[in-house]
Amino acid sequence: MPIPDFVIELRKMIGHHPLWLSGSTAVIFRGDEVLLIRRADDGGWAPVTGIIDPGEEPADAAVREAMEEAGVVIEVERLASISTMDMLTYDNGDQAQYIDHTFRCRHISGEPRADDDETTDARWFPVAELPEMRTVFRERIESALEEDGPAQFRTTP
């Protein structure tokens, strides 16, 4: 996944030291289907995710990422969960820890397509027939299944 410019600039100052980053996940529904993307970095299926830009509202980031990664227009319906991840160390030695804001979203328009940069595929899956994916992404989808309800707070590895 491409590294945002602001993270590149921060890395020039702090090197590989731990960096706290905010993320946004858009769990996008169309009836009984959920939109998933195949990530270019690891080939796994996932909901649309991305890093929140400085000053950007988390829900706005979800809308932006849905357009960038899958070419769809969405509406954010509610906050589904907030979770923190364990510290990650990337192959280049950079360390980062993320707080994720997961939103339940509704598809408005656009046919899903891969962007060939961050995603290699984008398609609808019946909620009852999701492909294999990392547990953290499955949990984010589960937290967004209810149309109404309180946001869930969890710590995930």
**DSSP code at position 2:** P
**Residue 155: inside a domain:** no
Mean pLDDT of the chain: 93
**Residue 106: inside a domain:** yes
**Which residues, 6+ apart, have CB-to-CB distance to 79 below 8 Å?**
59, 101, 102, 103, 104, 151
Number of compact structural domains in the chain: 1
Segment among 2-16, 25-39, 73-87 with least mean pLDDT: 2-16
**Residue 128: inside a domain:** yes
Residue 155 has pLDDT above 70, yes or no: no
Domain that holds residue 114: 16-144
Rounded CA-CA distance 95/38 in Å is 24
pLDDT in tens, 89-145: 989 999 999 999 999 999 999 999 999 889 999 999 999 999 999 999 999 999 999
**DSSP code at position 54:** T
**Residue 1: inside a domain:** no
75 compared with 42, residue with greater pLDDT: 75
Q: CATH number, domain at 62?
A: 3.90.79.10
Measure the CA angle with vertex 147, ends 141 and 157; round to 5°. Answer: 25
**Residue 72: inside a domain:** yes
**Residue 152: inside a domain:** no
pLDDT at 156: 58
pLDDT at 1: 58
pLDDT at 45: 98
**Residue 54: inside a domain:** yes
3-state SS of 128-148 is HHCCCECHHHHHHHHHHCCCC
